[in-house]
Structure 1
């Protein structure tokens, strides 16, 4: 039994990475299991908030117990988590997972995020919580994999091969492509966030984002950069 927990921020290509793992012959994926928990614990105003709450278990500890039971039914359970959803839960629980961090340069992430959350704050990016979680795991002697989304898109195969080596699982070529359609595992929020990935058949080639960070989000960008830089220093680098 292996539980891989991805800790991402929004607009980081995390859904594509979940779809990638869903192609594996030995893996079952779960989409943002702690989203309902997060929305009930904070004042976050997200698209479809009430629908999410109505359709999910909102007690985070119950969610963790349910996932641990589910993990016994499949060789690998892959959890696509947003880092900021980890709120009010014991960090000791993280030690049961093979933790992976997925990051994206905020200069490219924020112009996309404002389409769903027009006035984002640091919490909405997940970056600070990613750093906090990474440091906590490092203090426990763990060295979680950190993947930069730009590198993943530039070289999906080699990045995934290196990730699989770190996770001590076999790379499967099927991880590189999937059918262009929604998946049954998609959360009810997919209609608000997943329009592009539903059209994809694999990792889209990297293109530098043309949109600029809006002026009202510039202060947040400046706040984000040191967190991103720390994470990037710890990211997987290809030779």
Structure 2
């Protein structure tokens, strides 16, 4: 489905978690510009823990090694070294705090035309999602703020409170940070 022609579309966007590929990169569709959206593990993992607990999930059963950041880095290496593609890396904090400039730069790198409508959308605009993602507890627990949003909202620079985060989560953050820093160094940086 992802490799068929879409003659009247300027771009097709697909979002996936790198750890879902489980290292089987032959599953990657051909012909796509790979973009890596990163976020500080000190913010990802406590947030994930809160959502997982809210759904009744066991935290250590649902989080891959390093919170998935190592798998994201491994995929980045595959895309850049094996496919020879110049992957685009965007830090979520940068995107949310400078959406217009970041999207303009992203579009330039991806060969797309920036449009103002990229900055705003209708809340609960998920009718096109596969039912497994748009229904059930996980949709509300894991994506409620995103579903309710209508634009990019600035992210705080303050650290997330890790009080109550189990040792497993602290270990995942420690495992993730070296990979996050490697990707962070490759991110789009706006010229001042």
Instruction: Output the TM-score relative to the length of structure 2.
Output: 0.80
Shift of 1:82: 1.1
3-state DSSP of counterpart to 2:2: helix
Query: Counterpart of 1:154?
Result: 97
Task: Give the one of 177, 201, 207 matched to 2:156.
Answer: 207
Greater shift after overlay, 156-165 or 81-90?
A: 81-90
Shift of 1:209: 5.0
CA contact (8 A) 1:147 1:235 kept: yes
Residues 93 and 81 from structure 1, CA distance in 2 versus in 1: closer, same or farther, beyond 3 angstroms? Answer: closer
3-state DSSP of counterpart to 1:147: strand
Work out whether 1:110 is the aligned partner of 2:52: no
Shift of 1:123: 4.0
Task: Give the one of 78, 84, 89 matched to 1:136.
Answer: 78
Task: Give the one of 201, 223, 226 matched to 2:175.
Answer: 223
Q: Which runs of 5+ in 2 are unaligned?
A: 53-58
Return the structure number with greater relative CO, CA threshold 8 A, min gap 6: 2
CA distance in 1, matches of 2:45, 2:95: 19
Q: Which runs of 5+ in 1 are unaligned?
A: 1-65
The count of aligned residue pairs is: 174
Residues 163 and 219 from structure 1, CA distance in 2 versus in 1: closer, same or farther, beyond 3 angstroms? Answer: same
Query: Counterpart of 2:184?
Result: 232
The alignment's C-alpha RMSD in Å is 2.2
CA distance in 2, matches of 1:108, 1:227: 15
Q: Which has the higher strand share?
A: 1
CA distance in 2, matches of 1:90, 1:107: 28
Q: Which has the higher helix share?
A: 2
Superposition pairs for residues 169-184 of structure 1, below 5 Å? 169-184=112-127
Superposition pairs for residues 2-81 of structure 1, below 5 Å? 66-69=1-4, 71=6, 74-81=9-16
